[in-house]
Amino acid sequence: MNLLPAVVTGGVVGAGVALLVRELLRPQPALAAALQRSAPGLLTMPEPEPELDRDEVWGRWLLTRLGRLPAVRIPAKNLALLGQGPGAFMLKKAALAGLGLLCPVLVSIPWIIAGVSLPFYVPAVAGLAVAGLLFITPDLVVRDQAKRAREEFAHALSAYLDLVALKRAADAGPTEALEKAAAVGRGWPFLYLQAALRRARLEKIPPYQALEDLAHEYDLPVLEDVADIMRGSATDGAAVYKALRARTAALNTELLAAQAAEANAASEKMTAPGALLAVLVMLLMAFPAVIRMLTV
């Protein structure tokens, strides 16, 4: 006898009865709570928070327990500018510190196997020193990356100022000039500007205020000058055009001076290796003659 049709029929009937009982026993919602949920201010659903990955979750767990220590400092503005989370940054610091503690122990194992006795404090002191050095390494890396990112933003802002000045010279409004000039670029600095101006439009705030907030959020002092110039853009377009072009020229001069100083510093760093290489070449050239003089 085939029991499959009977089992399927019984399952369908049981599920229908369970749904009927569930609907009959469901309590009526409270009227006050229903009206509160349907309030006009709550009709717009908030944007869902981005899902955190595993490294970020574990890093934030560490940050909640180690964040009060004086040695633990999170460069929030630099991380926000680079698009990195504080949790992943903290997890990287902790992982490097743990690796630094284990390295001297692993290095001393072959010596112990070979029968060479080492004082116990030697691996401990070396491990603490290496762990401290590796613990601050991510801070140095993030600082250097943030410096490069701000330089890149300054170069993009120079082009953005030229575009805004041209839009203002064409009788475009302040908001229109800022938005159209930002819409031209596709790099990450222009995307940041587009997001800030879009937020200003949605929140009904002046665009220069959004630029000021962006400058404070990511520590971009070059952007504050643009906000100050555009603050007085509603009065005289020609004056604003001249101010924007003057700020663009000054910014280009600053960037060229910074690049020249960086090139000079790189050249000075190459002086010592070049001198050492010349000394080694001279020693190699003189070595046969010296050996011949000593052996004669």
Where helices occur in the chain by DSSP H, the ranges are 4-25, 31-37, 54-66, 76-82, 86-113, 121-169, 174-182, 188-203, 207-218, 221-231, 237-269, 271-295
Mean pLDDT, range 149-169, rounded to an integer: 88
Tokens of 294: 């000593």
pLDDT recorded at residue 12: 52
What pLDDT digit, counting tens, does each position of 40-98 carry?
Answer: 443 334 444 556 677 777 778 877 877 677 667 888 888 888 888 888 888 888 888 88
pLDDT recorded at residue 7: 46
pTM higher than 0.75:
no
State the amino acid at position 116 in one-letter form: V
Mean pLDDT, range 261-286, rounded to an integer: 78
Mean pLDDT, range 187-207, rounded to an integer: 89
- 104-113 contacts, C-beta under 8 A, 24 or more apart: 104/130
> Of the ranges 125-139, 209-223, 255-269, which one carries the lowest mean pLDDT score?
255-269
Query: In the chain, what percentage of residues exceed pLDDT 70?
Result: 77
**How far apart are alpha carbons 230 and 257 in whole angstroms?**
26
pLDDT recorded at residue 47: 47
**How far apart are alpha carbons 107 and 141 in whole angstroms?**
26
- Tell me which residue of 213, 75, 199 sits closest to 144, measured CA to CA: 75
| Residue 39 in this model has a pLDDT that exceeds 50 | no
